[in-house]
Amino acid sequence: MGILVDCKRGIVAVRIKVVGTVQGVGFRPFVYKLATSLNLNGYVLNLGGSEVEIHVEGERDSVRLFISRLTIEKPPPARIASVEIREIEPQCFESFKILRSSGELSARSSIPPDIAICRDCISEIRTHGSRFYRYPWNSCAWCGPRFSMMYDVPYDRENTAMFRFKLCEECLKDYEHPDSLRRFHAQGISCSKCGPRTLVYESNGKRIDVDNPVSFVAQKILEGRIVAIKGIGGYHIACLATRDEVVLDLRLRKKRPSQPFALMARDFAVVDKIAIPPQGARELLESPQRPIVVMPKRPGSPVSEHVAPMLSTLGVMLPYTGFQIMLLDMVEDGFLVMTSGNVHGRPMCTNLECVFSELANIVDYVVEHERQIVHRVDDSVMRFTDGVPVLLRRARGFAPEWIETRVELPDGVAVGAELQTAGAVCFEDKVVLTQFIGDVDEPAQLEDLEREIRWFAKVYKLNPKFVALDRHPLYHSRVVAKRLAGELNAELIEVQHHHAHIASVMGEIGLSEGEEVVGIAIDGTGYGDDGGIWGGEILIASYKDYRRVASLEPFILPGGDSSAKYPVKSLISIMASAGYSEDEVVGILDKMGLLKGLPHGLKEAEVVYYLSKSGKGTITTSIGRVLDAFSALLNICTHRSYEGEPPIKLEAVADRGRDLGYTPRLKNFSNRIIVSVSDMLRWAIDNISGVSEEDMAATILRGLGRALGVAALKSLEGRRNIKQYITVGGGAAVNAHIVRGIKEVLKERNIEVILPRRFPPGDGGIALGQILVASNKLQTLV
């Protein structure tokens, strides 16, 4: 690089712009120490778009060394996307300073996610004599809350919920003194003298004066009480995980009969005692993101069977705040139930008003801290699908980091889907997914979706040209989309559900406009071009368009949402489609004790059969409903109490089984390859008496995967202009047995199977695909 020289002074000067996750991670203090150690003068400041500007001047060799060390020695949480270096005239600075942040926006940068407490801060709260000894909310430049407490950018204290806590003399000294690297200009720091207090309440709102909140709460939990604890992005509900009566009491209070509860374990040694961590799990558990990791339950584990009923797995995370660490230090078992603090179906509480109005009948005590939660941020959840870590929920630790694509995008917005969803905004070549929002058929979550989209559009100073939405006419997210499009004078662009799933994966792996892939999209619900409900699809897709080349065998499903709630209805519908007579259907259901899986028993079975045979219902190819049917057939789950329960329990049974090698046959229908679900159902019914439910479940899932793999391979054959790999998306893409079946077939032809890694395959990542498809469609509208 040619650097300008001021011959009079013999110095050189450069201005550096660093883009990435560089605010709220101790980057400016690091720059200050690096510059002063090299005797360089100038300044560093945050800009309004969250990027950092650096001006350094001094001797040529020192400036060159500064530039080379800038990216190599950066703070651990910092992530640098780009560095722009520009030659400038020296300004004759006499020192190096951290300047007050600017509101100027020249380049946009990733907003920092919340980061788990670091080892140094943990050491301080455990060390006698430390100023931070037993201070529950200790943090530094390298850790602690970020996004969850931000009102605005740049990430300065006055733009966060910490603005109301004036630094004490000692903290101010740390903040201003460069020798305190972890606290020098660290925006979220505090101590017991100046930081948020920890308060304890009874569930009726009465405050309790206690000397040691952690000890008090630990004792109450050990006595079998249930406690709400405020964390980084919301409240948890904590209780013992070893006593059946305590867990069952929580289920009764929370009206959550069988959905699994998350656990929090003191350290990895405790995790290893209760679960069997797959290879790579420790790195995820101990990472700054601290996600919940779903992993096999260890035989003989002391965890109550009621924590995850009828499942072979547990969801476990490690503590990420000082309070959680000190609490688990006082629990002999080393682990607790630590589930979301919400009423079933409602968003997690983020303030005391919500806790006292919604959780008063669930918890006995409440632990509060005084820092406001600005953005609700749930715990992220991950699992391993055929050995590959996959996100189920993208929130704390991951959101709202952007995803870079290879597509130039106009400013835009996407509202996601309906259930377990998230929204997004876009600009340049970047898509920013909001944190996990949840089910937007609930008004509070729909409000969250709109509020978060508006916030991101504001802080990134966007002028959206389009608003993307799902094509399903009954999705509640359409209300938000239409309102935003009207206010912003933006184009409203519908995107087909499964096209968006495949486009999301295309975006992550960096495909450009015009490139095509064969994609498998498997889930529960997606509005199809024919007005039916799709969900077992193989598409040839680009961002611009798609062709439906294969699917599961369609069948008529009466009853709408009630069919998803009662899986026996899907079973009856598929049996009707497969040619079974009414007497045969009733006889099989009666023999297997499945009539009890319908609210009105025999009469309801006869009505469902009649409607299915008469074509009075919705035509569907949903793999979700197919898996529901087989879960019911094997008497694994005949009533759904939470989203995805029948397929999840079917997979849990399959984990103990052996694949028998059966694969349903393929046939052709209307120029489309069809996976014969009827064929599979007949095989299952014919063999059910001689095959264990474990082997049957494993074979059904693996066989479906193989059939989809064969259909995808046939769709790929002879098309050399299409990428020679298969992408897989949709909520069912996390099922390890189905994915193994797909891979088994394609591995023989050396064809790679690609799942998303940076966002959930389900509707939590669908907004990324909506953005990419809608931006392409916008070009044809302009």
pLDDT band at 595 (very low <50, low <70, confident <90, very high): very high
Show the tokens assigned to 765.
């990542």
Show the tokens assigned to 523.
């889930």
Q: Is 643 helix (H, G, I), strand (E, B) or coil?
A: coil
Question: What is the rounded CA–CA span in Å between residue 68 and residue 61?
Answer: 11
As beta bridge partners, residue 526 has 534
Q: What is the pLDDT of residues 140-195, one digit of tens each?
A: 989 999 999 999 988 889 999 999 999 999 999 999 887 787 898 888 999 999 99
Query: What is the rounded average pLDDT of the residues 352-360?
Result: 97
Q: What is the pLDDT of residue 717?
A: 87
Residue at 243: amino acid letter = R
CB 163 within 8 A of CB 157: yes
Query: What is the rounded average pLDDT of the residues 682-707?
Result: 97
Burial of 76 (0-12, 13-18, 19+ CB in 10 A): exposed
pLDDT band at 696 (very low <50, low <70, confident <90, very high): very high
CB 475 within 8 A of CB 418: yes
pLDDT band at 21 (very low <50, low <70, confident <90, very high): confident
Q: What is the DSSP code (8-state) at residue 342? A: S
Question: What is the rounded CA–CA span in Å between residue 457 and residue 472?
Answer: 25
Query: What is the rounded average pLDDT of the residues 715-729?
Result: 88
Cα distances from 354 to residues 72, 234, 412, in angstroms, run 45, 11, 33
Handedness of CA 742, 747, 750, 753 (dihedral sign): positive
Show the tokens assigned to 325.
């660490």
Q: 377-391, 656-670, 718-732, 767-781: which has the minimum mean pLDDT?
A: 718-732
Q: What is the pLDDT of residues 445-496, one digit of tens each?
A: 999 999 999 999 999 999 999 999 999 999 999 999 999 999 999 999 999 9
b/e sequence 154-178, b meaning 16+ C-beta within 10 Å: bbbbebbbbeebebbeebeebbeee
Query: What is the rounded average pLDDT of the residues 351-367?
Result: 98
Q: CB under 8 Å to 219, separation ≥6 — which residues?
A: none
Question: What is the rounded CA–CA span in Å between residue 621 and residue 628?
Answer: 13
How many beta carbons lie within 10 A of that of residue 297, not counting itself?
19
Handedness of CA 368, 370, 374, 375 (dihedral sign): negative
Q: What is the pLDDT of residues 58-112, one digit of tens each?
A: 999 999 999 999 999 998 888 888 899 998 999 889 899 988 766 565 567 778 8
Q: What is the pLDDT of residues 30-58, one digit of tens each?
A: 999 999 999 999 999 888 556 789 999 99
How many beta carbons lie within 10 A of that of residue 523, not counting itself?
26
Mean pLDDT score across all residues of the chain: 94
- Supply the residues annotated as catalytic: 28, 46
Stated as kind and residue range, the H or E segment containing 208 is strand 207-208
Handedness of CA 361, 363, 369, 375 (dihedral sign): negative
User: Which residue's structure tokens are 């980091």?
Assistant: 401
Compute the half-sphere exposure of residue 722: CA atoms within 13 Å on the CB side of its CA.
22
Using the predicted structure, report yes or no on whether residue 753 has a pLDDT greater than 60: yes
Q: What is the pLDDT of residues 304-348, one digit of tens each?
A: 999 999 999 999 999 999 999 999 999 999 999 999 999 988 999
CB 647 within 8 A of CB 735: yes
Question: What is the rounded CA–CA span in Å between residue 53 and residue 180?
Answer: 22
Using the predicted structure, report yes or no on whether residue 662 has a pLDDT greater than 90: yes
Stated as kind and residue range, the H or E segment containing 498 is helix 497-508
Question: What is the rounded CA–CA span in Å between residue 250 and residue 408?
Answer: 49
CB 77 within 8 A of CB 21: yes
Nearest to 186 by CA among 196, 398, 178, 194: 178
413 — phi, psi (to 5°)? -140, 145
Q: What is the pLDDT of residue 1?
A: 43
Question: What is the rounded CA–CA span in Å between residue 405 and residue 37?
Answer: 38
Using the predicted structure, report yes or no on whether residue 10 has a pLDDT greater than 90: no
pLDDT band at 9 (very low <50, low <70, confident <90, very high): low
Q: What is the pLDDT of residues 493-551, one digit of tens each?
A: 999 999 999 999 999 999 999 899 999 999 999 999 999 999 999 999 999 999 999 99
Nearest to 758 by CA among 444, 382, 386: 382
Nearest to 737 by CA among 661, 665, 655: 655
183 — phi, psi (to 5°)? -125, -5
296 — phi, psi (to 5°)? -60, 140
CB 563 within 8 A of CB 557: yes
Q: Supply the Cα-derived Rg of the chain in whole angstroms.
A: 28
Using the predicted structure, report yes or no on whether residue 5 has a pLDDT greater than 50: no
Show the tokens assigned to 443.
């008004």
Q: CB under 8 Å to 545, separation ≥6 — which residues?
A: none
Q: What is the pLDDT of residues 395-442, one digit of tens each?
A: 999 999 999 999 999 999 999 999 999 999 999 999 999 999 999 999
Query: What is the rounded average pLDDT of the residues 268-284?
Result: 98
